[in-house]
Amino acid sequence: MRRCQETAAAYVSLSDREARLEEAVSEVVAPAHITDRPAWLRENFRWDEGVPRRLWAEVDPALRAWRDRAVARMHAVQKDCAVFSHFIAINAIVGAAMGSAETMVFRPGHASITELELADGALRVVSLGADMTSSDVR
């Protein structure tokens, strides 16, 4: 979350806009019993090329509820805004906009920009951010 806040701070400074922390679109949190978060992420969000993707229907209901909160928050946006979030959250929201059942729909690179539009109550992908160039996802 710190990286998102640091990036947002630069945007706020340059744009003279306000920022707020929005938990609904923050980083996915592993369940309390998970001791190996990277393994949990890789199991639920298979981002490596050539690896079969997981489906939202296959993951824990709490994880689907997290996704649903993030998507609902994006549907509630009332005006143009910039959202600084994480790889998994971006995928959850973009996947919903694309109507995809997969937990991973693309591999956004660090500091890439993905543009969405909310029109007539529907999220639509305008453009995807640049693809990641390494498998460095934490």
The percentage of the chain sitting over the pLDDT mark of 70, rounded to a whole number, equals: 96
Long-range contacts of 60-65 (CB under 8 A, 24+ apart): 60/31, 62/31, 63/28
Give the best-scoring range by mean pLDDT among 21-30, 71-80, 95-104.
95-104
pLDDT at 20 over 90: no
E strand intervals along the chain: 115-119, 122-127
Long-range contacts of 79-82 (CB under 8 A, 24+ apart): 82/8, 82/11, 82/15, 82/17
User: Are 93 and 81 in contact, with CB atoms under 8 Å apart?
Assistant: no
pTM of the model: 0.88
SS3 97: helix
How many CB atoms are located within 10 Å of the residue 130 CB?
13
Rounded CA-CA distance 5/13 in Å is 12
pLDDT at 136 over 70: no
Q: What is the pLDDT of residue 135?
A: 56
Among 18-32, 33-47, 51-65, 86-100, the range scoring the smallest mean pLDDT is 18-32
Pick from 96, 27, 34: nearest CA to 60: 34
